Amino acid sequence: MLLEGEFTVNRPVQEVNRYLRDMDRIMTCLPGLQQYTRSGEDYVCKIKLDVSKAENSYLSTLSGKLIAKYEDTTENMARISANGRVAGSSIQLIITVETSPEGESTSVSWSSEMEFGLLIRIIGESKVRELSRLNIENTIECIRKQMETLQT
């Protein structure tokens, strides 16, 4: 499921672009992040994915590991992928963020995709869309907030 959107942050584009290269900060926005360690270009993250929306008493959160890294970056664009396993199922999150100056502010457009693999089986097809949307929206909202509070 592909989601996309746009927002404006009240910070100059250079600052926002610098932030987009600061993986240590962006990492903290990954859904359900518990802790992470760096191994070369890779960020190995322990996550707990909140699946309580699936309304299943056994499965409120599921544990997993993701490896996050930059796929591609240019002056005005960063693409981050996070691949790994949750509950034995492969899972993938890709976020692309592009910036353009808008006077003193920055216009940010983003697109993101989340794949749940076999997890669909236990979460149920209908809930998986909601879960992807929720996780992506939370991640983007977290990134937006971090951009808003950038210090010069």
Partner 1 sequence: MTDKIAVIGGGITGLFTTLYLANAGFNVHLYERGDIASGTSGHFHGMLHSGARYAVNDEISARECANENRIIFEMASNFVEDTGGYFVALNGEEAEYGSILSRRCNALGILSEEIQPEEFLKLEPFVNPSAQKILRVPDRIIHSYEFSVAVALEALMNGASISTNSNVEKINVEAGSVKGITVSGVNGTRRESFDYVVNATGPYSSGLLSRSGVETPPLMPAVGSMAVYNGRFVNSVINRMRKPSDGDIFLPYGEVSILGTLATVVDNPEEFEVDSEDIEMMVEEGNEMIPALGGMKYSRIYSSIRPLVDDSSKSAREATRSFRIIEHTEDGLNGLVSLVGGKFTTGRLIGEQTADYVTGKFGNRDRSKKKVDLNSTYERFSRSGKCRYPELLKMLGDKRGTIDEERLNPALSLIFAASICID
59 near partner 1, rule: CB under 8 A: yes
Q: Shortest Cβ distance from residue 59 to partner 1 (Å)?
A: 6
Instruction: Work out the widest C-alpha separation in the chain, in whole angstroms.
Output: 51
**Residue 137: φ, ψ to 5°:** -60, -40
Which listed range, 15-23, 44-52, 71-79, 134-142, lies at the site for partner 1 (CB under 8 A)? 44-52
Q: How far is CA 145 from the centre of its chain?
A: 13
Which listed range, 15-23, 58-66, 105-113, 132-140, lies at the site for partner 1 (CB under 8 A)? 58-66
61 near partner 1, rule: CB under 8 A: yes
Which residues have CB under 8 Å from 44's CB, separation 6+? 36, 37, 38, 65, 66, 67
Tokens for 85, please give them.
Answer: 């396993």
118 near partner 1, rule: CB under 8 A: yes
Nearer to partner 1, 79 or 85 (CB): 85
Q: Any idea of the CA torsion for 6, 20, 49, 53, to the nearest 10 degrees? A: -10
Nearer to partner 1, 37 or 126 (CB): 126
Distances (CA, A) of 39 to 45, 92, 109, 141: 11, 19, 29, 27
Tracing tokens 């997890």 back to the chain, one arrives at 119
Q: Shortest Cβ distance from residue 9 to partner 1 (Å)?
A: 29
Q: Shortest Cβ distance from residue 127 to partner 1 (Å)?
A: 6
63 near partner 1, rule: CB under 8 A: yes
2 near partner 1, rule: CB under 8 A: no
Residues that bind partner 1 (CB under 8 A): 46, 48, 50, 52, 55-65, 85, 87-89, 117-119, 121-127
